[in-house]
Amino acid sequence: MEIVRVTNYEEMSEYAAELLFRKVQTQPNVVLGLATGGTPEGTYEAFIEKAKRNDLDLSQITTFNLDEYEGLASDHPNSYHAYMKEHLFHPLDLKSEQTHLPKGNAADLEAEAKSYEQLIEDYGGIDLQLLGIGENGHIGFNEPGTPHHSRTHIVELKESTREANARYFENKSEVPKRAITMGIASIMDSRCILLLASGERKKQAMKNLLEGDINETFPASILRSHPYVTIIADEEALSAVSEREWKKHDSLNVL
Ligand SMILES: N[C@@H]1[C@@H](O)[C@H](O)[C@@H](COP(=O)(O)O)O[C@@H]1O
């Protein structure tokens, strides 16, 4: 596990965008795993800018997102489909065949989960998975208690997660109660993982991730057993982590 400690959100975004840019440049047919939430917005913005400025060839990339809310159609303004179209897919003119998200409004969600997992496999797996982290340690929508062997599945969202995400909806009651998400094992199958964390709100999560035990109570802790994880976190997110911990991991030799 590598930790890149940066000053703030802007620096985190710039650094992550540069890594994504280099990844696509060196591997034009890369399969990217993508995340939503406030954390990667700046990364997407910086990546779009770099890609356009350098005429980056994106025609061969494929993307798979981590998750989607249950019941929201892809054109629902609060769906993760809509988020991705706005923040990445449209600005980069990615074709719809290149981009994949689980369908939250599928008639048979269990079948959707299976076929999503199969599709990732058909593409040879994910080369680089981008992750944010929930305050309770969730990755994707894998809430505390999710088994480490889980594959794409349907989850009940914790009230705290619905509250944290309510800012994107009119009010909390509109936040769906369930979602479909890649599982812990699906995420761990990615060849490398890039986790981003910024701000005070994430400081306890980062402390648990870097100093706690690996267990299912804190889902992100499993990442410590993955061979290629890079964390880009800012000073506030790392403010509860002892310097000894992040210095121990600090490295610029990433991805
Ligand atoms: N499903 C998403 C996660 O993928 C994301 O990492 C998390 C943190 O969001 P934010 O980056 O807005 O703090 O929120 C949601 O629950």
Return the CATH number at 205: 3.40.50.1360
Domain membership of residue 142 as a residue range: 2-249
Pick from 50, 34, 122, 143: which is nearest to 91 by CA? 50
Q: Is 230 in the pocket of ligand 1 (CB under 6 A)?
A: no
- pLDDT per residue rounded down to tens, the chain (255 residues): 899 999 999 999 999 999 999 999 999 999 999 999 999 999 999 999 999 999 999 999 999 999 999 999 999 999 999 999 999 999 999 999 999 999 999 999 999 999 999 999 999 999 999 999 999 999 999 999 999 999 999 999 999 999 999 999 999 999 999 999 999 999 999 999 999 999 999 999 999 999 999 999 999 999 999 999 999 999 999 999 988 776 766 554 455
**Closest-CA residue to 140 (of 195, 86, 85):** 195
Which positions are annotated as active-site residues? 67, 136, 138, 143
The answer as to whether 255 is a domain residue is: no
254 falls within a domain:
no
Cβ–ligand 1 distance for 102 under 6 Å, the answer no
- ipTM of predicted complex: 0.96
Q: Domain total for the chain?
A: 1
What is the reported pLDDT for 8? 98
Please work out whether the CB of residue 13 comes within 6 Å of at least one atom of ligand 1. no
Task: Read off the tokens for 243.
Answer: 């310097």
Collapsing DSSP states into helix, strand and coil, what is residue 67?
strand
Distance from the alpha carbon of residue 246 to the mean position of ligand 1, in angstroms: 23
What pLDDT shows up at residue 249? 62
- How far, in Å, CA of 206 to CA of 135, rounded? 9
Q: Which of 9, 34, 36 to mutate to test the pocket of ligand 1 (most atoms within 8 A of CB)?
A: 36
